[in-house]
Amino acid sequence: MVYEVHHNDLTQAQAAKAAVLDFNATWCNPCRMLAPVLEEASKDLAGKALFYGIDVDENPALAARFGIQSIPALVVLKDGQPVARQVGFMPKPALEQWLNSVL
């Protein structure tokens, strides 16, 4: 399951042992392509990380805080700290390989 972030609030994600932040926008085609891939990955990697969707138009402070300039952008947090980032669409096998290497 991918949780939606509202009001620039990352409290839950930062409290998690590991979290995957998906910075996206409704008007972004690659973001829409990545959404179902992330949903599947969140089920496959349940127990390893929590997944959060962050609309950059609704959460501009978070996008600025993480220096997001292109979307879709994924940021992996471990113990609340960013440890990896990836920009652009990835098919599920590549996404899961990258996440497994980071997590």
Please give the positions annotated as active site. Answer: 28, 31
Enter the tokens of residue 99. Answer: 């996440």
* Terminal-to-terminal C-alpha distance of the chain: 17
Q: Which residues of 72-92 are buried (b: 16+ CB within 10 A; e: fewer)?
A: bbbbbbeeeeeeeebeebbee
